[in-house]
Amino acid sequence: MYQARNAVFSQNDSIGQSRLSEILGAFSYALDLTEGQPAGHSIRSCWIGTQIAMALGLKGDTLRDVYYAVLLKDLGCSSNAARVTEMLAGDDRKLKYDFKLIGPRPEDLSEFLASAVGMDADAEVRARALSNLSENGEAILTDIIATRCSRGADIARRLRFSEDVAQAIAHLDEHWEGGGLPLGVAGSDIHLGGRIALLAQVADVFYSALGKEAALAEVRNRAGSWLDPQLCALFEKLSEASGFWEELALEDLPEQLWALEPAAHYVVVDEDYLDDISFAFGQVIDAKSPDTAGHSARVGMIADRIAEILGMEADHRRVLRRAAVLHDIGKLGVSSTILEKPGKLDAEEWEIMRGHAALTTNILGQIGIMGDMAMVAGSHHERLDGKGYPFGLDERSISMESRIITVADIYDALIADRPYRPDMSSEKAMVILQSEVGSAVDQQCFAALQTVVEQGLTE
């Protein structure tokens, strides 16, 4: 049975004092990974967008809605990753990064597709992808962007944000002259938060890649076409102020951004809200691959039921369930070319795949009130015999919480379809797990899982 001496979680008495901005800002680094952007892109964009919003005179809830719309503009980015890889025959993260650097003219897009599609694929795959884009390019691009925008808006609602935040995220890729996607709305019909978010995104993408002069030039180049010209003029004026670009490069920019959170210095983040945040980002994780739909939530559920059978107290199980739901957040930094590969990974690909566990630890480790979860969630590929990854832990140092997540994760992965093999029966999965007891799988956790399966509680 589970005993308190195995506990690694501590009750955070100041949970209600936590900044929502700090929690979601830390999660935004995972969104940057998915988009192939340099770390801190979402935070820098939010800082730029908030400066513009304040200069417009926005205050209170209206300012707060813009703040969170820009910070979380990429909430839906994982939902089209597999589609980008499939349709453009390449690494989704690199393609997305390069796509954001193309110019605003239609011919810029054509040149990008001709040079980037299938560049690392064999000739037949590249030719097939280019032919498909030639015939169906507009529909494909619309579908890719619509998926991202609608999913992002839905997750914003799950995070308890207003409809204004959701609509701003839904309008991120609309253009001032009406040529954007997926809705083709124009001018002031585009949500103000969406207009600010796109300008901030363009500014930071070009600033991070090519410097401040390139950022200014690109904003000017897109004024009146992609971007609201009034907002562009305001941005240019702000950027001329002493210290604007220097502040954007400061190491403590995140702390300065948290201090700018409008409407309330602290937003109450209680246990229920932390659950909502965890499950919302579980949806972001699972959207990365069509074959993992619902995986994070199921692992959380199975882990919770194993822990209950082992005698873990309810408040402790609640934290464990969050860690289980977020155990694969590091996979947002892995290309879909690897995640969706139907065959065996080569040595380099396998090393990248293994890296997702350490990324999970790093991402969760940045979130103060979730800090206890970082090692627990990131250790789900450790083994009792010391042959796991990423830290090479063994039975002396792997917590009971990690052992629970490990067995729940393996079981759900075995009974689900994967690109490299079909699903298998619960019975066969349990036979495989039993063969790993003592080397990879903890005996107590396996026995508890058997009870869960026999009671039909994994559905």
The predicted-structure confidence for 166-207, as pLDDT tens digits, reads as follows 999 999 999 999 999 999 999 999 999 999 999 999 999 999
Known active-site residue 331: yes
Same domain, 258 and 306: no
- Average model confidence (pLDDT) for the chain? 93
What is the pLDDT, as a whole number, of residue 273?
93
Peptide linkage before 262 cis (omega within 30 of 0): no
For the chain, how many structural domains are there in total?
2
Same domain, 225 and 285: no
Same domain, 401 and 290: yes
What is the pLDDT, as a whole number, of residue 342?
87
**pLDDT for 377-434, tens place per residue?**
999 999 999 999 999 999 999 999 999 999 999 999 999 876 666 778 999 999 999 9
Q: Which residues contact 329 (CB under 8 A, 6 or more apart)?
A: 30, 281, 285, 359, 360, 363, 364, 377
Same domain, 324 and 375: yes
Write the CA distances from 288 to 26, 293, 334, integer angstroms: 19, 9, 9
Same domain, 262 and 274: no
Asked if residue 105 belongs to a domain, the reply is: yes
- Which stretch of 212-226, 268-282, 412-426 has the lowest confidence by average pLDDT? 412-426
Q: Is the pLDDT of residue 99 over 90?
A: yes
Q: Output 357 or 368, whichever has higher pLDDT.
A: 357
Pairwise CA distance, residues 346 & 221, whole Å:
43
What is the pLDDT, as a whole number, of residue 78?
97
Asked if residue 332 belongs to a domain, the reply is: yes
What is the pLDDT, as a whole number, of residue 262?
83
Same domain, 235 and 94: yes
What is the pLDDT, as a whole number, of residue 417?
75
- How many of the other CB atoms lie within 10 Å of CB of 436? 17
What is the pLDDT, as a whole number, of residue 242?
87
DSSP per position, 167-234: HHHHTTT--TTS--SSS---GGGS-HHHHHHHHHHHHHHHHHHH-HHHHHHHHHHHBTTTB-HHHHHH
For residue 297, what are the domain limits?
4-9+269-454
At which of 235, 268, 301 does a domain end? 268
Q: Output 331 or 269, whichever has higher pLDDT.
A: 331
At 160, give phi and psi (nearest 5°): 75, 20
Question: How confident is the model over 88-93, as a mean pLDDT?
Answer: 96
Asked if residue 206 belongs to a domain, the reply is: yes
What is the pLDDT, as a whole number, of residue 17?
58
Q: Which of 73, 96, 288, 331 is catalytic?
A: 331
Same domain, 384 and 251: no
The single-letter DSSP state of residue 441 is B
DSSP per position, 409-427: HHHHHHTS-BTTB----HH
What is the pLDDT, as a whole number, of residue 369?
86
At which of 248, 268, 288 does a domain end? 268
At which of 222, 250, 268 does a domain end? 268
Same domain, 180 and 273: no
What is the pLDDT, as a whole number, of residue 13?
40
Asked if residue 243 belongs to a domain, the reply is: yes
**pLDDT for 122-163, tens place per residue?**
999 999 999 999 999 999 999 999 999 999 999 999 999 999
Same domain, 262 and 277: no
Q: Is the pLDDT of residue 12 over 60?
A: no
pLDDT band at 372 (very low <50, low <70, confident <90, very high): confident
Is residue 303 within 8 A of residue 185, CB to CB? The reply is no
What's this model's pTM, rounded to 2 decimal places? 0.94
Pairwise CA distance, residues 431 & 421, whole Å:
17
Q: Is the pLDDT of residue 361 over 90?
A: yes
Pairwise CA distance, residues 112 & 338, whole Å:
23
Same domain, 75 and 114: yes
Which CATH number fits the domain that encloses residue 255? 1.10.3210.10
Share of the chain above pLDDT 70, in %: 94
Same domain, 162 and 311: no
Burial class of residue 98 (count of CB atoms within 10 Å of its CB; 0-12, 13-18, 19+): middle
- Would the CA dihedral through 144, 417, 419, 73 be positive or negative? positive
- Which stretch of 225-229, 232-236, 451-455 has the lowest confidence by average pLDDT? 451-455
What is the pLDDT, as a whole number, of residue 5?
38
Same domain, 258 and 325: no
Give which of 453, 418, 455, 459 is closest to 433, Cα–Cα. Answer: 453
Asked if residue 459 belongs to a domain, the reply is: no
Asked if residue 89 belongs to a domain, the reply is: yes
Pairwise CA distance, residues 329 & 283, whole Å:
10
Share of the chain above pLDDT 90, in %: 86
Question: How confident is the model over 291-313, as a mean pLDDT?
Answer: 95
Is residue 224 within 8 A of residue 215, CB to CB? The reply is no
Asked if residue 244 belongs to a domain, the reply is: yes
Asked if residue 14 belongs to a domain, the reply is: no
